[in-house]
């Protein structure tokens, strides 16, 4: 993976014939079959300081390159992604199990659009910004903001969107003049290897974007190597450990820790369309999405009709391997995820919930398949409403009215995203403003993640900071304010020496600057002006 000289090398893949897995390798496993389809070399944790040092050296030269020239490289990167899209999609399907159409729409589209957007907009987003001064005391100054690169950004990414998540973070990071060391998931090592190759093929400097492979120990070593910022996508439990490790070194971080996204269905919504959205929003990528629809609150008057529609649509879905074009829902990522989803359903049923369809593993299809499930009568006492599901479960709860639905939607430690479904767009927007979430969609779900301008992130148990959009780009830079005084030969009135005269003049200046009436302003103007022309006596 990484040579002893510290220079990055391409990750090697070897098809697996034997059953034993060497301890210094990562297996690439097909979730549909459980078979090991390849091995990748782990990055020794001991090499992380050296890797970060080489990235820092590459960044010191990269930052000297003009932003338009960096953007030209991003255009080349987009061309490389497009040319390799079939290989990339195959890798995503092989390692994540999702249907190929989802790999194309979610992973490839987001990656390509991120490269296109920032190649066109990074220069304007990072342009020097003039800061006008409203205060009389600052009128003789000229101020502006500049956006400087941070240095080396560490990205610790997730497996569920093994191209979209890391690439949509790496691309703006390098556009802003940073180097990146990215630990991709140990569940998707082939996708990680392909990401590093893309940047080399696009002509980016060696060591500017480095992929490191391994588990939690590699992520920990990456933080200990003291990058300038850490972006983490993953579970709340791991996110807490990342936050603690960063805090010890005073390294700033962005944490995207998942969600428990609410869907509010009002009685005036188009129920057929909304049910289709609920089914897709709950089962896409087999429910393994931080933005999955995990809590559905339906107004009481239409709750039974809506449940009937959801069940009918769910029963039509085809469960199978992602490589089969007819597949709608693929497998979960690992057997332990099947076990966890089963336990969540058992807990809900034991507390009074009703499974309307699905609800069972499908070992006849493979070790990681689970039926898309509609479950009704779920309430806040159940783990299914308390914990992130990350599985193919559409959980329904009847709400007396919109006010009740809003209150229940906000009753969660998670606050990533939500959606509101209604025939009245203005009412939907009003409700959206009252929901505790980083993003709320009206009459759509999840898809804002693919809008390059839209910031992504939440608060509470969903983490902090943002990726994507201008907000996400500003996480990649140091904002510096520069102030130039336009009267450089004049001592400032607030400098030494002090005395009773200056005290009276200072009070007069406050009355001139902040009094409401014009008479008070004019009455103090003469004394206030004396502060600008006094003899300091030094």
The yes-or-no verdict on residue 6 having pLDDT over 50 is no
> Is the alpha carbon torsion for 66, 67, 68, 71 positive or negative?
positive
DSSP structure string for 396-461: EEEESSHHHHHHHHT-SSEESEEEEE-S-HHHHHHHHHHS-SSEEEES--SGGGG-TTS-B--EET
Summarize the confidence of residues 189-208 as an average pLDDT: 98
CB atoms within 10 A of CB 223: 23
| CA proximity to 191, closest of 333, 328, 389 | 333
pLDDT in tens, 41-77: 999 999 999 999 999 999 999 999 999 999 999 999 9
The pLDDT value recorded for residue 5 is: 30
pLDDT in tens, 109-128: 999 999 999 999 999 999 99
Complete domains list, the chain, with CATH: 48-257+471-479 (3.40.605.10), 261-450 (3.40.309.10), 490-533 (no CATH)
469 Cα distance to chain centroid: 11
Side-chain-side CA neighbours of residue 165 (13 Å) = 28
The yes-or-no verdict on residue 27 having pLDDT over 90 is yes
189-201 and 67-83 helices cross at what angle (nearest 10)? 130
Tokens of 286: 């087999």
Rounded to whole angstroms, the Cα distance separating 121 from 119 reads 6
Grouping H, G, I as helix, E, B as strand and the rest as coil, residue 378 is coil
Rounded to whole angstroms, the Cα distance separating 438 from 448 reads 11
DSSP structure string for 488-517: TTS--TTSSPP-HHHHHHHHHHHHHHH-SS
The yes-or-no verdict on residue 7 having pLDDT over 50 is no
SS (H, E, C) 70-109: HHHHHHHHHHHHHHCHHHHHHHHHHHHCCCHHHHHHHHHH
Q: Spell 516-532 as b/e; 16+ CB within 10 A means b.
A: eeeeeeeebeebbeebb
Rounded to whole angstroms, the Cα distance separating 283 from 287 reads 4
Side-chain-side CA neighbours of residue 450 (13 Å) = 16
* Residue 268 DSSP one-character state: T
Which residues are marked as active site? 256, 290
Least-confidence region, from 16-20, 231-235, 354-358, 450-454? 16-20
Summarize the confidence of residues 15-21 as an average pLDDT: 45
Rounded to whole angstroms, the Cα distance separating 423 from 277 reads 15
CB atoms within 10 A of CB 98: 28
Tell which phi-psi region holds residue 59, choosing left (phi > 0), alpha (psi between -120 and 50) or beta.
alpha
Confidence of residue 497 (pLDDT cuts 50, 70, 90): confident
CA angle 276, 284, 278 (to 5 degrees): 30
Summarize the confidence of residues 329-334 as an average pLDDT: 98
- In the chain, % of residues over pLDDT 90: 84
Confidence of residue 20 (pLDDT cuts 50, 70, 90): low
Confidence of residue 13 (pLDDT cuts 50, 70, 90): very low
Confidence of residue 532 (pLDDT cuts 50, 70, 90): low
Interacting residues of 331 by C-beta distance below 8 A, sequence separation 6+: 31, 32, 97, 286, 321, 322, 365, 366, 367, 368, 369, 370
Lay out the sheet containing 253-256: strands in order across.
209-212, 179-183, 152-156, 229-233, 253-256, 463-464
Residue owning tokens 């990681």:
368
Confidence of residue 537 (pLDDT cuts 50, 70, 90): low
Tell which phi-psi region holds residue 160, choosing left (phi > 0), alpha (psi between -120 and 50) or beta.
alpha
Confidence of residue 3 (pLDDT cuts 50, 70, 90): very low
Side-chain-side CA neighbours of residue 468 (13 Å) = 22
The pLDDT value recorded for residue 367 is: 97
Confidence of residue 343 (pLDDT cuts 50, 70, 90): very high
The yes-or-no verdict on residue 247 having pLDDT over 90 is yes
Residue owning tokens 């936050």:
243
* Residue 137 DSSP one-character state: G
Summarize the confidence of residues 278-285 as an average pLDDT: 98
Query: Phi/psi of residue 536, each to 5°?
Result: -70, -25
The yes-or-no verdict on residue 94 having pLDDT over 50 is yes
* Residue 8 DSSP one-character state: B
| CA proximity to 157, closest of 230, 92, 66, 217 | 230
The pLDDT value recorded for residue 104 is: 98
């Amino acid at each position: 993976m990484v040579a002893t000289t510290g220079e990055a090398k391409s990750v090697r893949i070897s098809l697996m014939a034997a059953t034993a897995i060497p301890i210094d390798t990562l297996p690439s496993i097909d979730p549909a079959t459980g078979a090991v389809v390849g091995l990748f070399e782990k990055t020794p944790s001991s090499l992380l300081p050296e890797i970060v040092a080489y990235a820092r050296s590459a960044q010191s030269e990269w930052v000297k390159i003009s932003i338009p020239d960096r953007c030209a490289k991003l255009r080349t990167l987009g061309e490389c992604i497009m040319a390799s899209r079939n290989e990339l999609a195959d890798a995503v399907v092989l390692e994540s199990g999702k249907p190929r159409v989802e790999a194309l729409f979610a992973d490839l589209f987001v990656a390509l659009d991120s490269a296109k957007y920032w190649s066109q907009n990074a220069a304007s987003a990072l342009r020097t910004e003039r800061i006008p001064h409203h205060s009389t005391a600052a009128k003789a100054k000229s101020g502006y903001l500049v956006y400087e690169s941070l240095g080396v950004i560490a990205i610790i990414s997730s497996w569920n969107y093994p191209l979209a998540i890391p690439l949509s973070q790496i691309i703006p990071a390098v556009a802003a003049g940073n180097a990146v060391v990215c630990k991709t998931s140990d569940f998707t090592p082939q996708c990680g290897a392909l990401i590093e190759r893309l940047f080399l093929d696009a002509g980016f400097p060696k060591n500017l974007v480095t992929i490191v492979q391994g588990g939690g120990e590699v992520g920990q070593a990456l933080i200990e190597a003291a990058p300038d910022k850490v972006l983490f996508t993953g579970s709340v439990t791991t996110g807490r450990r990342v936050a603690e490790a960063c805090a010890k070194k005073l390294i700033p971080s962005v944490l995207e820790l998942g969600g428990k996204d609410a869907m509010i269905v009002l009685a005036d919504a188009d129920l057929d369309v909304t049910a289709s959205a609920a089914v897709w929003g709950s089962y896409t990528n087999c429910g393994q999405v931080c933005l999955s629809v995990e809590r559905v609150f339906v107004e009481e008057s239409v709750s039974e009709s809506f449940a009937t529609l959801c069940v009918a649509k769910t029963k039509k879905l085809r469960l199978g391997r992602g490589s089969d074009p007819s597949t709608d829902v693929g497998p979960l990522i690992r057997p332990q995820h099947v076990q966890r989803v089963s336990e969540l359903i058992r807990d809900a049923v034991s507390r009074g919930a009703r499974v309307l369809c699905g609800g069972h593993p499908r070992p006849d299809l493979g070790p990681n398949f689970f039926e898309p499930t509609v479950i009704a009568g779920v309430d806040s006492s159940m783990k299914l409403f308390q914990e992130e599901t990350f599985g193919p479960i559409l959980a329904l709860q009847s709400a007396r009215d919109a006010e009740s639905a809003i209150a229940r939607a906000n009753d969660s430690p998670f606050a990533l995203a939500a959606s509101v479904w209604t025939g009245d767009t203005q009412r939907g927007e009003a409700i959206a403003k009252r929901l505790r979430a980083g993003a709320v969609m009206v009459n759509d779900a999840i898809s804002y993640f693919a809008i390059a301008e839209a910031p992504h992130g939440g608060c509470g148990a969903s983490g902090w900071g943002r990726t994507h959009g201008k907000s996400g780009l500003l996480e990649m830079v140091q904002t510096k304010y520069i102030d130039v005084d336009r009267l450089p030969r004049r001592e400032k009135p607030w400098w030494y020496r002090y005395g009773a005269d200056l005290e009276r003049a200072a009070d007069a200046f406050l009355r001139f600057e902040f009094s409401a009436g014009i008479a008070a302003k004019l009455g103090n103007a003469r004394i206030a002006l004396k502060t600008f022309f006094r003899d300091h006596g030094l």
